[in-house]
Structure 1
């Protein structure tokens, strides 16, 4: 239900902002701003995404919990999608998600609402079930009988 509301409300906000900003500064300036934010956003997402990947690699190499780095990477990816979407509201949310302090606050808020049951890393994780269980069985290959779906045409001879 919330997703449906977002899909209705966000475009209405964007349309209202386009009308207001376009009326205040003109069409050409509005288009330059929209294209400029997309280009600037793509560059920022690329640099911050590379940093997030480096942090994730370091976390994996040190065998520490990678969830925060994964969440930051996901938020950077989401901000990139918002920044490439034309609009002032989506650009504002996208640029906000590029601020590390805001990402950290969002991560902490989401983490507080989730309960992690278990987390394991390492070379030999704990086995999840019986390892020596063997199931014997017999099989026989069965080729289905091929039946033509139609009769021969006048072009072929049998």
Structure 2
């Protein structure tokens, strides 16, 4: 939890500094255009990947399967879309990382390992 607080402070500060450096390097209007372009592209990708994920969840449910992998995809797409709508280059790069299927696979395996460690240490208990 303490790392989350640090990220909430550190990432926006770094994003603002990168935006200022970009504004000086390429100019104000190209920087604003890049921010708007990544927002539009991010919204499009999040919509496309989100709809594919919803279809996969529905398909797996119709076959009587639990859609665990597809739900993790949905979480990644939600996080990625949110990050891409947030202005800043660091959040945009991270958002694209969450949206693209090859990199999303690595993120999902990390999330699964993290939850397995917490369950094994007894920090999370599953009650039937």
SS in 2 for 1:64: coil
**How far apart in 1 are the matches of 2:29 and 2:114?**
44
* Other-structure match for 2:63: 62
TM (normalized to structure 2)? 0.86
> Pairwise mapping of residues 22-101 of structure 1 onto structure 2 (< 5 A)?
22-101=23-102
> Pairwise mapping of residues 75-154 of structure 1 onto structure 2 (< 5 A)?
75-115=76-116
* Other-structure match for 1:21: 22
What is the CA-CA distance between 1:114 and the residue it aligns to?
Answer: 2.4
Number of aligned residue pairs: give it. Answer: 119
Which protein has greater RCO, CA pairs closer than 8 Å, 6+ apart?
2
The structure that has the greater radius of gyration is: 1
**How far apart in 1 are the matches of 2:31 and 2:61?**
44
* Other-structure match for 2:122: none
Over the aligned positions, Cα root-mean-square deviation in angstroms equals: 1.6
TM (normalized to structure 1)? 0.71
**How far apart in 2 are the matches of 1:104 and 1:67?**
13
Runs (5+) with no aligned partner, structure 1: 119-127, 129-158
* Partner deviation per Cα, 1:94-115 (whole Å, 9 max, x = no partner): 0111110111111112212324
**How far apart in 1 are the matches of 2:86 and 2:111?**
24
SS in 2 for 1:114: helix
What is the CA-CA distance between 1:65 and the residue it aligns to?
Answer: 2.8
SS in 2 for 1:78: helix
Runs (5+) with no aligned partner, structure 2: 120-124
| Greater helix proportion | 2
**How far apart in 2 are the matches of 1:113 and 1:81?**
22
**How far apart in 1 are the matches of 2:8 and 2:107?**
21
* Other-structure match for 1:135: none
